[in-house]
């Protein structure tokens, strides 16, 4: 199958991103089950109410009509099977910002997640002319936060008690990348965010530094309260 038949929009080495096809992706796929699965939704806001194909089709149709959202299907190049969905949402063309988000399904394809983010990040800066792309992650996803660092995303903040699951509140961390950082990084890597996957994996931070960020902010707030 050639690129035209696949309707490729953004292409990488492992995955390509294309326009969502509701018939193919939702009605003839297992997309709706991703949001019923406890492991996939462990660190997401989904999985609260049951999902089915009709509900997923309705939600997807609404998102596709939303001019402030760009939603794309993630497809494994080697199998031509959809393995996830990725979005730029809350696109603000006046302030030139957007939030990036992604959900991967049951198929585990090494490198697919970071390449998908890199492809849509590049599109956001190069073609949508954004100046900032940001995201929020459950603190349990610290390894993913470390992965995002390898393509220029930086820790930017910490929000306490942003949700409640399994009997306790959870916090999230904020990450983001600016167009200035993006173009500098891309220049050093020969025009790509991912110069090679081996280098990406070698650059990845091993330790969890999110507790350091939390402790720093707690100490800062403690000192502020003492002044007041």
Task: Give the mean model confidence (pLDDT) for residues 144-165.
Answer: 95
3-state helix, strand, coil in the chain (%, to 5): 40, 30, 30
pLDDT tens by residue, 39-90: 999 999 988 999 999 999 999 999 999 999 999 999 999 999 999 999 999 9
Size (the chain), residues: 228
Burial class (CB in 10 A: 0-12, 13-18, 19+), 119: buried
Task: Give the mean model confidence (pLDDT) for residues 19-35.
Answer: 96
Residue 104 to residue 86: CA distance in whole angstroms = 8
Give yes or no for residue 2 having a pLDDT over 60. Answer: no
Predicted confidence at residue 221, as pLDDT, reads 86
The dihedral region occupied by 90, where left means phi > 0, alpha psi between -120 and 50, and beta the remainder, is left
Residue 6 to residue 126: CA distance in whole angstroms = 23
SS3 132: strand
Q: What is the model's pTM?
A: 0.94
Give yes or no for residue 1 having a pLDDT over 60. Answer: no
CB atoms under 10 Å from CB of 35, counted, come to: 21
Task: Give the mean model confidence (pLDDT) for residues 162-177.
Answer: 94
Check if the beta carbon of residue 139 is closer than 8 Å to that of residue 173. yes
SS3 31: helix
Give yes or no for residue 162 having a pLDDT over 80. Answer: yes
Residue 173 to residue 215: CA distance in whole angstroms = 13
Check if the beta carbon of residue 152 is closer than 8 Å to that of residue 182. yes
Look over the chain and give the mean of its residue pLDDT values, rounded to a whole number: 94
Express as a percent the part of the chain with pLDDT over 70. Answer: 96
């Amino acid at each position: 199958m050639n690129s035209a038949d696949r309707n490729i929009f953004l292409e990488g080495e492992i995955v390509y991103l294309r326009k969502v096809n509701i018939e193919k992706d939702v009605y003839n796929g297992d997309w709706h089950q991703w949001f019923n699965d406890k492991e996939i939704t462990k660190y997401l806001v989904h999985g609260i109410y049951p999902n089915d194909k009709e509900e997923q089709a309705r939600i997807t149709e609404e998102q596709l009509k939303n001019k402030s959202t760009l939603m794309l299907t993630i497809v494994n190049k080697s199998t031509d099977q959809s393995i996830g969905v990725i979005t730029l949402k809350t696109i603000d063309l006046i302030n030139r910002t957007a939030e990036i988000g992604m959900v991967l399904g049951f198929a585990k394809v090494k490198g697919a997640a970071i390449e998908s983010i890199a492809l849509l990040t590049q599109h956001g800066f190069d073609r949508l002319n954004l100046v900032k792309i940001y995201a929020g992650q459950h603190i349990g996803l610290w390894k993913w936060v470390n992965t995002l660092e390898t393509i220029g995303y930086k820790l930017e903040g910490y929000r306490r008690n942003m949700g409640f699951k399994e009997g306790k509140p959870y916090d999230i961390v904020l990450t983001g990348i600016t167009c200035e950082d993006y173009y500098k990084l891309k220049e050093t890597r020969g025009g790509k965010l991912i110069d090679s996957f081996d280098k990406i994996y070698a650059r990845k931070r091993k330790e969890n530094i999110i507790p350091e960020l939390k402790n720093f902010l707690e100490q800062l707030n403690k000192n502020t309260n003492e002044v007041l």
